[in-house]
Amino acid sequence: MPFQLPAEVPLSWYLILSAILFVTGAAGFLIRRNIITVFMCIELMLNAVNLTFISFSNALGKVDGHIFSFFVMVVAAAEAAVGLAIILTVFKNRATLEIDEVSSLKL
C-alpha cells in the first residue's frame, strides 16, 4: 500500500513542530557563548510560542490566538530594541561578547 498523505494537517503536527522549535531555541540559549546568538535563540523560542498560539487558535476557530501572537511580536520588538542597546553598551565597555567573560560579579 503506498504511503498516503493526510488531506488535512492535524493539529498535533503543528504542536510537535513548535515544541521542537522551542526546545531547539532553549538548547541554543543554554549552550551558545556569543551573546547575540543567545538572544537570537530567545527569538526562536518566542516564534515557537507564536506557532502554538496560531495552531490552537485555528483549531478552536477563534481569533484570540492571533491577537496573542500579535502582542508577542510587539513585545519581541520592544525587547529586541532594549536588549540590543544593552548588548552594545556591554561591548563598548568590555570589547567582548563572550558570555563567560562577562562575569566580574562573584558567582
Task: With beta carbons less than 8 A apart as the criterion, state whether 44 and 25 touch.
Answer: yes
Long-range contacts of 78-84 (CB under 8 A, 24+ apart): 79/42, 80/39, 80/43, 83/39, 84/39
For position 29 contacting another protein by CB under 8 A, the verdict is yes
Q: How many residues bind another protein (CB under 8 A)?
A: 98
User: According to CB under 8 A, which residues from 41 to 60 bind another protein?
Assistant: 41-60
Letters for 66-95 (x = contact with another protein by CB under 8 A, - = none) are xxxxxxxxxxxxxxxxxxxxxxxxxx-xx-
Report the nearest approach of another protein to the CB of residue 2 (Å).
13
